[in-house]
Amino acid sequence: MHEITTAAAIDLKEKLLRIHEHWSPRVVAEMNDYQFKLAKVQGEFVWHAHEDTDEVFIILDGELVLEFRDHAVPLKAGQMYVVPKGVEHRPVAHGECAIMLVEPRGVVNTGDAGGAMTAPNDVWI
C-alpha cells in the first residue's frame, strides 16, 4: 500500500505534467477501497466492460466521447459520467484529453477485453 500523507494538497495539474503516455492511468489518491486515477487519453480505446463495478469518468481538460453500442455521450472539461457495471463502452478522444477515473482498487483499465492497451495497475504518481 502506498503511504498517504496529509501534509500537502494533491496538485492535479502538477501530476498531469508527469504523465507522458496515453491510456495509462496513474493513482494519485485512495479513499477506502477506491482509487483516484489520472490519465491522458487520445484516440480510440478498446471496447470493454467492468463486470463488477461502475466506473466514473471526470473530464479535467479537453473532450471525450463515451461510446456505447446504441448511443454516445460527449463530455467536456468540468463534466463527469458514471458508466454502470457490466455496460460495454469505449472512450474516444479526438484530441488529447486529461481525465480522472474513480474506481475500486485493482480494476484493470481494459476490463474484460485485455490486450495490448492493458496498463500496469496500481502505479502511483
Q: Given its phi and psi angles, is residue 15 left (phi above 0), alpha (psi -120 to 50 degrees) or beta?
A: alpha
CA atoms within 13 A on the CB side of 73: 14
- As a whole number of angstroms, the distance between CA 98 and CA 22 comes to 9
Spell out the per-residue pLDDT of the chain, length 125, in tens.
Answer: 566 556 799 999 999 999 999 999 999 999 999 999 999 999 999 999 999 999 999 999 999 999 999 999 999 999 999 999 999 999 999 999 999 999 999 999 998 898 999 999 999 99
Residues 91/101, Cβ–Cβ less than 8 Å = no
Residue ranges per structural domain of the chain: 24-104
What was the pLDDT predicted at 7? 77
CATH code for the domain defined by 24-104: 2.60.120.10
The set of residues, in sequence order, having a beta carbon less than 8 Å from that of 95 and lying 6+ positions away, is 42, 62, 63
